[in-house]
Each structure stands twice: as structure tokens, then as C-alpha cells.
């Protein structure tokens, strides 16, 4: 995040004082926190969906996998490459009964303006995934992605979370601001979760769809390694 971005963040999220600041701290610290294997924190947020404003809730996707990813800020540099990449692979995720949601602490108006800017000019263009507006920062905080101190306070790290059809958090990754994500890896992780749910066997290192899995017991482990 460069100095211009930091200044923009400061202007967009000015400091609050007195009771207002205390209320904000209480709001952050009373939200549910994301824990692997536990129910993912619920949310309802305004979003841009197919070029329109719409409220989006986690409960809308009950019975599906959800790939929720945070990005730092609209109109920046690495962020559009990631968002476009996830959007372009959305059909591949849907083939696995998974939906992709993008979120930042920008407003829905900022999201909309960015989608209306052509890609050749740094915009997003038409999106196939919702863009959630976490203006109050409660979602980023509850998932552990919010930067709360320093020059980039108020924006989210590149956090990526996979929630299963029962609503439990199964995968949580955090990248620092300069490092973009590999969308194919998150598709692979959903494939691994689907494989485990369907067959009950565990996925070894470097597993790819269709690869060998392991029965989670001493005998199954020996069988796997005997064929390695």
C-alpha cells in the first residue's frame, strides 16, 4: 500500500473521538470471531450484484460452499487482477456447488463506480460475483482480516475463507497487501473439501482432483505409502 493509498484510506475513514470511538471499538470486539471447524460468522451487507445494489447474507448460500475473499481497496493495483480472476473462474466454482463473494471496506457506491470503469483503464468491468461493502468493518474484523493499526488501518488484508454447505469455516488464509492470490489454488481446495465430503478420505500434500487419497487410519496410511 503506497502513501497515496494510505492517505486515501485516512480520508475515507477519519478518526472518531469520545463516545463514537468507544462505540466503534465495542462493535468490533462484540462480533463473533471466525474459528476453523466452527460456524462461520453470519453477515448481511450491501453489495453490488449484476450492476445493482442488493443486500447479501451468508444465509443466502446455505447448502453451498462459499469462497469469501477480502481485498484492501477499490481503484488500486493488485486488487483488480484478483477480483477479475475470481470472477472469470466463477463458473468453475459453481460447478462444485460453490459461490464466490468479494468484500472490502469501501462503499457500495465505490464498488459500482469501479465496475463501470473499463478494464483497460484499471476498472473491473462486468462482474460475475458480488462485491460486498463492509463499511463498518465488522465483517473483516470478525474474520480476522482487518488491519487495525498503522498507516493501513481500516482496510482488509487479502484474506480468503472457504465455508462449507453446513456453514462451518473450513479454510482460512491471509496474504499481506503486496501479494496476490492464485485462484486455481482455491478451486483446488474446494475440490479437496468436496472429495473428503463425498468419500471420507483425506487429501495428501499436492493433491489434485482425481488423485489418490488416504484412508485416515494406520492401515490406510500404509496402503497409500506402499503405492507411492
All three cell numbers of 8: 486515501
Predicted local confidence at residue 32, as pLDDT? 82
Q: Per-domain residue ranges for the chain? A: 3-181, 182-228
| CA dist list (Å): 69 to 158, 165, 227 | 7, 17, 37
Q: What is the CATH number of domain 3-181?
A: 3.40.30.10
Please tell me the predicted confidence (pLDDT) of residue 13: 46
Q: Quick one: cell of 101?
A: 463473494
Catalytic residue chosen out of the listed positions 40, 73, 79, 187: 79
pLDDT of residue 41: 98
Which pTM does this prediction carry?
0.86
Strands (E), 50-110: 52-57, 65-70, 98-104
Distance CA 214, CA 200 (A): 9
Question: What pLDDT does 1 receive?
Answer: 47
* C-alpha dihedral sign at 75, 65, 31, 48: positive
Residues 6+ apart with CB under 8 A from 26: none
pLDDT, position 227: 84
Longest dimension (CA), the chain: 66
79 labelled catalytic: yes
Q: Are 36 and 168 within 8 A, CB to CB?
A: no
CA angle 50, 144, 22 (to 5 degrees): 100
pLDDT at residue number 31: 65
Q: What is the pLDDT of residue 43?
A: 98
Please answer whether residues 80 and 123 qualify as being in contact, where contact means their C-beta atoms are separated by less than 8 angstroms: yes
Q: Which positions of the chain have pLDDT values less than 70?
A: 1-31
Amino acid at each position: 500500500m503506497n502513501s497515496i493509498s494510505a492517505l486515501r484510506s485516512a480520508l475515507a475513514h477519519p478518526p472518531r473521538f469520545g463516545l463514537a470511538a468507544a462505540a466503534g471499538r465495542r462493535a468490533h470486539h462484540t462480533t463473533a470471531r471466525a474459528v476453523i471447524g466452527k460456524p462461520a460468522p453470519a453477515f448481511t451487507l450491501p453489495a453490488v450484484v449484476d450492476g445493482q445494489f442488493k443486500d447479501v447474507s451468508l444465509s443466502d448460500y446455505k447448502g453451498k460452499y462459499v469462497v469469501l475473499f477480502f481485498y484492501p481497496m477499490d481503484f488500486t493495483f493488485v486488487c483488480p487482477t484478483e477480483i477479475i480472476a475470481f470472477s472469470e473462474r466463477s463458473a468453475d466454482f459453481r460447478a462444485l456447488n460453490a459461490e464466490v463473494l468479494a468484500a472490502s471496506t469501501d462503499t457500495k457506491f465505490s464498488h459500482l463506480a469501479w465496475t463501470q470503469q473499463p478494464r483497460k483503464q484499471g476498472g473491473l468491468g462486468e462482474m460475475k460475483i458480488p462485491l460486498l461493502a463492509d463499511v463498518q468493518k465488522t465483517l473483516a474484523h470478525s474474520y480476522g482480516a482487518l488491519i487495525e493499526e498503522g498507516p493501513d488501518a481500516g482496510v482488509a488484508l487479502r484474506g480468503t475463507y472457504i465455508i462449507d454447505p453446513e456453514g462451518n469455516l473450513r479454510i482460512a488464509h491471509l496474504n499481506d497487501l503486496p501479494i496476490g492470490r492464485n485462484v486455481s489454488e482455491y478451486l483446488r481446495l474446494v475440490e479437496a473439501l468436496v472429495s473428503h465430503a463425498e468419500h471420507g478420505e483425506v487429501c495428501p500434500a499436492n493433491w489434485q482432483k482425481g488423485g489418490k487419497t488416504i484412508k485416515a487410519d494406520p492401515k490406510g496410511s500404509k496402503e497409500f505409502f506402499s503405492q507411492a
